[in-house]
Amino acid sequence: MNEMIEKIITRHAIRRFADRQLEEETLREILTAGLYAPSAGNNQYSRIVVCQDKAVNLKLGQLSRYMQFKGRDPGTVAHSISSDQPSIQDDFTIMDGFYGAPTVLTIFTRPGQYAHDDAAMIAENIMLAAHFLGVGSCYIGRTGEVFATEYGLERRKEWGVPEELEAVCNVLLGYREGPAPHEKPRKEGRIIRVPAAE
């Protein structure tokens, strides 16, 4: 199997992170991969905010968890995600929706038809580059809601994020704690082939 394909299919969401920060050169390479993601019309409007402040990441992670359940009983809305790398859906005692990740990226982009597409491609490049370099990652949604809160608005202003940009997603980065997650089988019937016209 092609080495790159093998790396792609062995990437998993990581939610158990070691108490160890990324080396600066490793982080720089991961971010460079993100900057080279495709964007609609090569607009390059997006911004990637890198936060390694434990207190800020914890507060944002707590807000992210709250946005997932919004006061509802987690037991009524949860479903199993992973026994290897439990999420807030699996373990209701987890109060940090960022799982203690030492580095949290927030991807902001200009609102519009392709905003989420651009952000998702940046995130995918980042997560694959991280895996190639031995770094764990996890994609987190709910980001727009978190940055619409008073605390989120204060942080983005403090960070100097242009007002016209919207928060789309987070990517958690850090070294995995514990064994790698086991392979999960792919569901059948997800590829539909259209035959060529005769």
More confident residue, 3 or 77: 3
Instruction: Report the percentage of the chain scoring pLDDT > 70.
Output: 90
93-150 pLDDT tens trace: 777 889 999 999 999 999 988 889 999 999 999 999 999 999 999 999 999 999 999 9
**Looking at the whole model, is its pTM more than 0.95?**
no
- Give pLDDT, residue 107: 98
**Residue 16 CB partners (closer than 8 Å, separation 6+):** 85, 99, 176, 177, 178
**Residue-range domains of the chain with CATH:** 3-174 (3.40.109.10)
Q: Cα-flanking dihedrals φ and ψ of residue 152, to 5°? A: -65, -40
| Tokens at 156, concatenated | 């983005």
Instruction: Report the percentage of the chain scoring pLDDT > 90.
Output: 71
Cα separations in angstroms, 149 against 38, 95, 107: 30, 18, 17
- Confidence band, pLDDT 50/70/90 cuts, at residue 70: confident
148-161 pLDDT tens trace: 999 999 999 999 99
Angle formed at CA 58 by CA 23 and CA 174, multiple of 5 degrees: 25
Cα separations in angstroms, 178 against 17, 84, 129: 8, 9, 20
Q: For residue 120, with 0-12 CB atoms within 10 Å meaning exposed, 13-18 middle and 19 or more buried, which class applies?
A: middle
DSSP-derived secondary structure letter, 78: -
Whether 181 shows a pLDDT value over 70: the answer reads yes
- Confidence band, pLDDT 50/70/90 cuts, at residue 65: confident
- Give pLDDT, residue 73: 65
